[in-house]
Amino acid sequence: MTAGGDVGGHPVGPDVAEAAVPRPGPVRRFLLRRPGLVDAAVVTVFTGWALLLGLGADSMYWLHEVLGGPRVLLMQVTSAVLTLAGAVALVWRRRRPVLVAAVMTVLGVLSLALTGATNGFELGVALALYVVATTAPPRTLLAAAGASVLALLVGARVLPLARTVGAKSLGVDPDDADAFAAVTGSGPFGFATSPAWFAMAAPVVVLALLAVGLGTLVHARRQRVAALAEAARARAEEHAQRTRLAQASERAQIAREMHDVVAHSISVMVALGGGASAAFDWAPDRARAALDELVDTGRAALGDMRRILGVLHDDDGDGPAGDAPLEPQPGSLDLPRLVGRARTAGLAVRTSGLAVTGLDALDPALQLAVYRIVQESLTNTLRHAPVATDVEVDVRRRADAVEVVVTDRGGTAPATAGPGSRRGLVGMTERAAAFGGTVEAGPYGQGWRVRALLPWNEGDA
């Protein structure tokens, strides 16, 4: 993972994930924030269209001549009442789209029965079906659209007043039986050749198809946007999880480094302090030398700690991290100095392989692992066998691996430290595992032996 949040070379940060989701345009955002404005516009369009057809249609003038003014006035009032009911129903189309579609269909059939025309309810049904298409599953949409269209088409075919108004709209006198039958059809399947029925059916079918088609497209787009949003959320969560894992890994590495530095340095300092105290009266020069070495060890430990803690801060030169010297991690060239401190602390250490040719050319991370394994092994010896009679550090570079063996033969006095936390052993194991290696640690005679095998190849050198 890079600092920019790339995984596998592909950016997956929250900003990139959010950018992958299509954003609505300014007009759509304006309307989405104001659903009440959209509802008012829908109700206004339907009401205006329905009143225009219900109160000002040519059929009303013809009916006025045939039926008389009072009855036509009653039909106009009925049309207005039905329109008002439809307008109220449309306000609820977002919450109960299927129910509103059913109500608009019933009102449309009533309009056919009482006024002889749909009077704009085909538009009301289409508006309701659009919402059904954008929110309901396909099966529900098919049932709602089919039932609504079928009810209006059947009503236009079988209701007497609807047949009469349909014929009149084509200029046919309903009193002319032959002409009336010709335009309205006769027999059970007469609608197939009925121009009047087709004139009423066409707006119903066309508007329903447009509503269902447009609503289906909008529904598909919403699903696609939702899927993209979910994918973006998943990528953002994956990015956050990777970041958390990386931070946890860094914290674990810092904790491991701190353990190695602090445990070793304090063990050496305790041994030096004890030796200086014991030699203070009979060998003051040796006590003074031990104290000087103790101070040097403390300073070195403090420098290591500041360097390790520096990774917790931005490298901008400000604060404690900016004051810490930028020194390289310890490596194979530092092994003799490490062994020297252990000898000064009182351990009898014999070494072999520390000057192996090419060991210092290995990967710095591999060198650090070798250094820390030797350091932790000597630290454990200082803590648990401070008077070991023989400690041997053997570092060998094989053809395909680096082998580290640290052996103590046991001491003549009991250890001064209590049971360890085993964090050191865990840290050594983790360091070796990072290179595909292994660590074996256990009793060896009266003492203890640690053997680590770290694979390497020519590419590491």
pLDDT digits (tens, 9 = 90+) for 185-194: 555 545 555 6
C-alpha 9/C-alpha 6 separation (Å) is 6
Asked whether residue 251 is assigned to any structural domain, the reply reads no
Inform me whether the pLDDT recorded for 19 exceeds 60. Answer: no
Residues 340 and 227 in one domain: no
Higher pLDDT: 88 or 169? It is 88
Asked whether residue 117 is assigned to any structural domain, the reply reads yes
Asked whether residue 446 is assigned to any structural domain, the reply reads yes
Inform me whether the pLDDT recorded for 8 exceeds 50. Answer: no
Token pair 């983790």 is at which residue?
430
Asked whether residue 409 is assigned to any structural domain, the reply reads yes
Tell me the CATH number at 367. Answer: 3.30.565.10
pLDDT value at residue 185: 57
Inform me whether the pLDDT recorded for 33 exceeds 80. Answer: no
C-alpha 164/C-alpha 8 separation (Å) is 74
Strand partners, 207: none
pLDDT value at residue 60: 53
Asked whether residue 274 is assigned to any structural domain, the reply reads no
Residues 232 and 338 in one domain: no
Q: What is the pLDDT of residues 287-320, one digit of tens each?
A: 777 777 777 777 777 766 766 666 555 444 444 4
- In contact, 366 and 402? CB cutoff 8 Å: yes
Higher pLDDT: 258 or 223? It is 223
pLDDT value at residue 321: 43
Please, where are the H alpha helices in 280-391? 284-309, 319-323, 335-344, 364-384
Asked whether residue 356 is assigned to any structural domain, the reply reads yes
pLDDT value at residue 16: 47
pLDDT value at residue 164: 66
Last residue of a domain, which of 239, 266, 300?
Answer: 239
* Count of the separate structural domains present in the chain: 2
Inform me whether the pLDDT recorded for 177 exceeds 70. Answer: no
Inform me whether the pLDDT recorded for 286 exceeds 80. Answer: no
Higher pLDDT: 19 or 133? It is 133
Asked whether residue 55 is assigned to any structural domain, the reply reads yes
C-alpha 371/C-alpha 5 separation (Å) is 32
C-alpha 330/C-alpha 365 separation (Å) is 9
Q: How far apart are the first and last CA of the chain?
A: 25
Band (pLDDT 50/70/90 cuts) for residue 12 is: very low
Residues 352 and 227 in one domain: no
Q: What percent of the chain has pLDDT over 70?
A: 66
Residues 34 and 181 in one domain: yes
pLDDT value at residue 307: 65
Token pair of 286, please? 């040796």
Q: What is the pLDDT of residues 334-347, one digit of tens each?
A: 888 888 888 877 78
pLDDT value at residue 5: 44
* Most confident among 56-60, 339-343, 391-395 (mean pLDDT): 391-395
Token pair of 413, please? 């006095």
Return mean pLDDT, the chain: 75
φ, ψ dihedrals at 330, nearest 5°? -65, 150
Give the mean pLDDT of 78-91. 91
HSE at residue 103, side-chain half, CA atoms within 13 A, is 19
Last residue of a domain, which of 239, 267, 285?
Answer: 239
The crossing angle, in degrees rounded to 10, of helices 121-135 and 138-158 is 170
Residues 79 and 222 in one domain: yes
Query: 62 lies in which domain range?
Result: 6-239
Q: What percent of the chain has pLDDT over 90?
A: 21
Band (pLDDT 50/70/90 cuts) for residue 324 is: very low
Residues 213 and 353 in one domain: no
Q: Report helix, strand and coil shares of the chain as percent, to nearest 5.
A: 70, 10, 25
Band (pLDDT 50/70/90 cuts) for residue 162 is: low
Q: Full-prediction pTM beyond 0.85?
A: no
Q: What is the pLDDT of residues 108-154, one digit of tens each?
A: 999 888 887 788 899 999 999 999 999 999 999 999 999 999 998 88
Inform me whether the pLDDT recorded for 183 exceeds 70. Answer: no
pLDDT value at residue 217: 94
**CA–CA distances in Å: residue 373 to residues 49, 191, 307:** 87, 95, 19
Closest CA to 452 of 409, 399, 411, 394: 394
Residues 210 and 352 in one domain: no
